[in-house]
Structure 1
Amino acid sequence: MMGLMVSEETRTESRTTMQPDIPGPPEQAGRTLRETSPARAWTTRLVILGIVLSALNLRPAITSLGALLEEVRDGLGMSGSVAGLLTSVPPLCFAVFGVMAPRLARRFGPGAVVCAGMAAIATGLLIRPYAGGTVGFLAGSALALMGIAVSNVLMPVIVKRWFPDRVGSMTGLYSMALALGTSAAAAVTVPMTEALDGSWQYGLAAWAALAAAAVLPWIPLVRDRGAAPSGRSDRSGPSDRSDGRQRHARDEAPALRITRSRTAWALAVFFGLQATAAYITMGWMAQIFRDAGVAASTAGLLLAVTMVMGVPLAFVIPRLATRLPHQGPIALALGACGLAGYAGLYFAPAAGAWLWALLLGVSNCAFPLALTMVGMRARTGAGVAQLSAFAQSTGYLISIPGPLLVGVLYQHSGGWGLPIALMAALMIPQMAVGVLAGRNRTVEEEAAAR
């Protein structure tokens, strides 16, 4: 019910935004609308293109490395524990740099920050294979992950501001593109590396080209400092200016005491636990299959299958979530698939490899569910920005030990039994906090009540 109310409320605001009252004779108003509508439509299409291309680049830096982790370890002389540290770098960077995103967006505008983020991804992916040694590889990875971190946080904000009446569908499109980029990197990296003389450096650096392409749509939006996407004419009258001031005041409202909200904490923990599962999967699943006797190319395809499951489901789940008053049942269903997938990896990793990959792919769709709940659990764009930064930064901090601990357990136990048991155990609290985060309430209500 809350989702429907918010949708109706945002539809009304969107109509008000897209159809401003223009002073003067009717024919002058008609001319002004005809002059500004094409510009608005062009800018909206550009934003959609930017969202899709950016989403495609938010995971290849990680899954391409997962597909070639054994080659990178051999090439750089890494131990299992150091490789586990490498798989923990993404959530660490997301936590550290993600918290800066709202402040950067207020100063420079979200379009400029995402544009810079895509440039950082391209630069980091290009230099990290050739930086020399483990330290240089980590530094190049950190630069790319910094760009991913700020874009992660700002994508829900951009969706909420530009498409307030289509949060579910646009989040689904963004999540679907993210899943497509994730799975493509997992599937293509190994064959592409073989085609490039077997050099893992070439195989990893090639993804910089996709990130460079994602810079282009944001360049015209660099000067956008957060004004409403209405294409209002500077010739607007007093009523338009008053309405604009009211919206600006609403967007610049005092910061919420977000830590007073139980829903914000539940969403942060849910985000952290699903990120733990996702980064363990992206960093280690291909190695699990390879150690079980699966060929390297097939292991890469299995990881790609896990990631590609997010393409259709990432579009369906947000739309379904916005139509339900409580998103807890979705979190429970996804968690059950994860438990079944981990049980399969434990007892018969090679025999049922394709089925386990499918089940874990469904479970990993907790990410688009978390993004959708970020948009639903706050009333305003400013609230979404603050909740997104809090949930993602806190969540990624929570997720840091997981991949590292898996690497340590794997090295010292000599097998995958203990790491897989850890993954399954973490799924239980993820399901519990998913139910709490899915309750029909907003962080503004909870912060004001405490």
Structure 2
Amino acid sequence: MTLRSPRFTALCSLIALILLTLNLRAAITGVPPVLGELQDRFGLTGVEAGVLATLPELCLGIFSAVTPALARRIGTEAAITAALLVITTGLLLRVVPAQAALFTGTVLAGAGIATGNVLVPAVIKRAFPHRVGPLTGLAMMLMSVSGAAAAGLAVPLGDLGGWRLALAAWAAPSLIAALAWCPLALHGRKRPPEPPPAHAEQVSLLRSPLAWSITVFMGMTSLMFYTLTAWLPQIMRDHGFSPATAGMMNAVVIIIGIPLGFLVPVVAARLRDQRPLVLGVVTLMAIGLVGLLLAPQAGWVWVAIFGVATGSAFPIALTLLNLRSPTAAITARLSGMAQSGGYLLAATGPLTFGVLHSATGGWKPSIALLLLLVIPELLCGLAAARPGLVTPSPPSPEGHPEHPTEPADTPARPTEADRSR
């Protein structure tokens, strides 16, 4: 295997992809466990602490929208390298003892993570077109593992070296990942310039019903996860479970999702029609919410169901970004649209849930609202999982022989990648 062989290039891309995915959750999940200490150190009010906790999700929504344009302008590898350096800078900036530095660093880390999130499916589509399922599953699993590790190690690291170590420890892995991507970025600059995108790839995805279905489905799955993980411990405490048990329930929801993050994309990629998966996962979510509404004392049963439902739904949505895209370029654009709109939608969930609880004094109205939102999640999920491809081509001038009119979303044709799954 020579340095210029395709197998060596694929191996380098795989290692770089692994290092990238290991740095797309830690900067976010490492903050909540030490949020109380940050409030004391920085003199944050309750509102300011809430803003700090919400900033990452808002950044994911905002910066995901501009990532495809950035990748087209400077190259995918260069954009990922820059994103990892921005994450490193943000993590280091957060240890400066000033509120402005804490919030600015959080925004920078969120911007870098948003860029990486969007480009992971595009990298998989281009570098490993015949391994979409396994590589998406690997990426999801590594994100979950790194996120859980950052959350679990935050307090021990804080006890060992203070809050600065707890926040800055993950700057080292992100810097290592950036260094690993640098050669790929330089290699990408030496490649011949790519031809201009096809006419279909120049048109906005906003015209595609399939793209919108994927966006809403991703947003709803994220909203369910973030809302439940934010409020489930308090719901369980209010129904008689100890604080330690309630916290463990939250951890179990996340832990269940780790193996599912790998297995579900593999299964989804082998199916031509993913609607049975979507129907099963959304049905589980509805069962869990009905159970939490009517029999919260059976908390562990609903926790297990939520773990399976949330741990499967987002991997399905992420896999659909590749399965519904004909090219890597459209994958990047669809990923940017779906993650931008999806995370902005998801950011409204925990806040609305909490406001409704405060206004009514109970949990049932808030849980009932989540149950109601299962309906659009199911409808958009079924539309997104139907076999087909996003082909964002507008109606062509009638009678023009060189630009035949095609529907906005076309049925998928079997490809070699399909047959290899």
Normalized against structure 2, the TM-score is what?
0.82
Distance 1:298 1:118 in 2: 36
CA contact (8 A) 1:65 1:283 kept: no
The residue that corresponds to 1:443 in the other structure is 390
> Is the counterpart of residue 183 in structure 1 residue 129 in structure 2?
no
Distance 1:79 1:362 in 2: 36
> Is the counterpart of residue 173 in structure 1 residue 119 in structure 2?
no
CA contact (8 A) 1:266 1:436 kept: yes
Query: 1:400-411 to 2 correspondence within 5 Å?
Result: 400-411=347-358
Listed one character per residue, the Cα deviations across residues 38-65 of structure 1 (whole Å, up to 9, x for unaligned) are x433332222122122212212222223
- The amino acid across from 2:202 in the alignment is A
The residue that corresponds to 2:91 in the other structure is 125
User: How far did residue 444 of structure 1 move?
Assistant: 0.7
Query: 1:115-264 to 2 correspondence within 5 Å?
Result: 115-133=81-99, 136-193=101-158, 195-196=159-160, 199-225=162-188, 248=195, 254-264=201-211
Distance 1:208 1:136 in 2: 15
Q: Which has the higher contact order (CA 8 A, sep 6+)?
A: 1
- The amino acid across from 1:143 in the alignment is L
Distance 2:29 2:66 in 1: 25
- The amino acid across from 2:321 in the alignment is V
User: How far did residue 77 of structure 1 move?
Assistant: 5.3
User: How far did residue 344 of structure 1 move?
Assistant: 4.9
The residue that corresponds to 2:55 in the other structure is 89
Mark the CA change 1:422 to 1:191 in structure 2 (over 3 Å): closer, same or farther.
Answer: farther
User: How far did residue 164 of structure 1 move?
Assistant: 0.9
Listed one character per residue, the Cα deviations across residues 288-338 of structure 1 (whole Å, up to 9, x for unaligned) are 556667666655543332222222111211121122222122122222232
Distance 2:129 2:305 in 1: 32
The residue that corresponds to 1:105 in the other structure is 71
CA contact (8 A) 1:266 1:433 kept: yes
- The amino acid across from 1:176 in the alignment is M
CA contact (8 A) 1:118 1:211 kept: yes
The one of 355, 361, 366 equivalent to 2:313 is 366
Mark the CA change 1:389 to 1:128 in structure 2 (over 3 Å): closer, same or farther.
Answer: same
- The amino acid across from 1:132 in the alignment is A
CA contact (8 A) 2:57 2:344 kept: yes
Greater CA drift, 85-94 or 293-302: 293-302
Q: 1:400 aligns to what SS in structure 2?
A: helix
Distance 1:383 1:327 in 2: 20
Mark the CA change 1:333 to 1:190 in structure 2 (over 3 Å): closer, same or farther.
Answer: farther
Q: 1:440 aligns to what SS in structure 2?
A: coil
Greater CA drift, 155-164 or 340-349: 340-349
Distance 1:73 1:410 in 2: 24
> Is the counterpart of residue 425 in structure 1 residue 361 in structure 2?
no
RMSD value, Cα:
3.1
The residue that corresponds to 1:318 in the other structure is 265
Distance 2:338 2:79 in 1: 19
User: How far did residue 419 of structure 1 move?
Assistant: 3.6
Greater CA drift, 414-423 or 435-444: 414-423
CA contact (8 A) 1:87 1:283 kept: no
User: How far did residue 274 of structure 1 move?
Assistant: 1.4
The residue that corresponds to 1:376 in the other structure is 323
Q: 1:177 aligns to what SS in structure 2?
A: helix
Greater CA drift, 218-227 or 370-379: 218-227
- The amino acid across from 2:169 in the alignment is A
CA contact (8 A) 2:86 2:108 kept: yes
User: How far did residue 345 of structure 1 move?
Assistant: 4.6
Q: 1:223 aligns to what SS in structure 2?
A: helix
Mark the CA change 1:333 to 1:227 in structure 2 (over 3 Å): closer, same or farther.
Answer: farther
CA contact (8 A) 1:88 1:404 kept: no
Greater CA drift, 431-440 or 326-335: 326-335
- The amino acid across from 2:286 in the alignment is L
Distance 1:71 1:346 in 2: 34
The residue that corresponds to 2:418 in the other structure is none
Mark the CA change 1:189 to 1:302 in structure 2 (over 3 Å): closer, same or farther.
Answer: farther
Distance 2:327 2:79 in 1: 20
CA contact (8 A) 2:201 2:393 kept: no
> Is the counterpart of residue 333 in structure 1 residue 266 in structure 2?
no
- The amino acid across from 2:118 in the alignment is V
Distance 1:204 1:294 in 2: 31
CA contact (8 A) 2:199 2:393 kept: no
User: How far did residue 171 of structure 1 move?
Assistant: 0.9
User: How far did residue 384 of structure 1 move?
Assistant: 1.2
Greater CA drift, 307-316 or 439-448: 439-448
User: How far did residue 196 of structure 1 move?
Assistant: 2.4
